[in-house]
Amino acid sequence: MTIKITWLGHSAFALDVNGRTALLDPFLTNNPLAATSADDLAAEIIFVSHGHGDHVGDTISIAQRTGAKVVSNVEVCNWLSGKGVKHTHGQNSGGGYLHDWIHARLTVAFHSSSMPDGSYGGSPNGFVFTTSGKRLYFAGDTALFSDMQLIGDQVIDVAFLPIGDNYTMGPDDSLLAIRYLRPRFVIPMHYKTFPLIDQDVAAWANRVNSETNSTPIVLDPGATYTLV
């Protein structure tokens, strides 16, 4: 029973859970770090944290090609439905639902959410996923917030945290987030894609090792970490 976590660049990840495939914020086209083409990705289910273009990304084309169900807030789902995505499942902050083999609960995120065409995108979210006996927290785009301690109380195996600064929390705040969340492993995201969010990820990882009890997992785009 393993979960394979592949970083596709920016905040895009593929999760392979015992052969079932989920995508998170699949932004590949126009992503300078993209590890693959959107046309080459398999997906049964796609999770979208908020309406911004670097998170909605290629959701429409992947969903149309694969028939994947898309899970996001209700406003993002309504917008995607209007663009021809057949299977959507809207949730909202605090709400959880078991999608067959992966349970997803939307958390709050302190950020904004508008669709690529400027229309209303509801509230931004993160996700707490429970699957195959593991719990993962995907923060989405967010500032640091102290209620991350409550998420940490649920016992997190892996936290995916933005560290790019400028649009989200940066390295300093992410260190405090890690102390709140207490995950076994932490994976950085939303950095290096553009000059504005470039970060010294090796220095960040050193600080995680010396200042927290969590283990940093720094992936190159396209690389996979297997969680056991």
* Secondary structure of the chain in HEC code, one letter for each residue: CCEEEEEEECCEEEEEECCEEEEECCCCCCCCCCCCCHHHCCCCEEECCCCCHHHHCCHHHHHHHHCCEEEEEHHHHHHHHHCCCCCEEEECCCCEEEECCEEEEEEECCCCCECCCCCECCCCEEEEEEECCEEEEECCCCCCCCCHHHHHCCCCCEEEEECCCCCCCCHHHHHHHHHHHCCCEEEEECCCCCHHHCCCHHHHHHHHHHHCCCEECCCCCCCEEEEC
The mark string for 130-159 relative to Ni ion (x by CB under 5 A, - otherwise) is -----------x------------------
Stretch that binds Mn ion, among 12-20, 73-81, 141-149, 192-200 (CB under 5 A): 141-149
Stretch that binds Mn ion, among 1-9, 23-31, 60-68, 136-144 (CB under 5 A): 136-144
Indicate which single residue of 58, 75, 141, 173 sits in contact with Mn ion (rule: CB under 5 A).
141
- Under a CB-based contact definition with an 8 Å cutoff, are residues 142 and 169 in contact? yes
What is the chain's alpha carbon radius of gyration, rounded to the nearest angstrom? 16
User: Minimum CB separation from Mn ion for residue 18, in Å?
Assistant: 30
The mark string for 18-57 relative to Ni ion (x by CB under 5 A, - otherwise) is ----------------------------------x-----
Total residues in contact with Ni ion, by rule CB under 5 A: 2
Compare residues 110 and 225 and give the one whose CB is closer to Ni ion. 110
User: Minimum CB separation from Ni ion for residue 18, in Å?
Assistant: 31
Compare residues 141 and 173 and give the one whose CB is closer to Ni ion. 141
Total residues in contact with Mn ion, by rule CB under 5 A: 2
Question: Any contact of residue 190 with Ni ion (CB under 5 A)?
Answer: no
Indicate which single residue of 25, 44, 54, 75 sits in contact with Mn ion (rule: CB under 5 A).
54
- Under a CB-based contact definition with an 8 Å cutoff, are residues 221 and 7 in contact? yes
User: Minimum CB separation from Ni ion for residue 49, in Å?
Assistant: 8
Contacts with Ni ion by CB under 5 A lie at: 52, 141
Contacts with Mn ion by CB under 5 A lie at: 54, 141
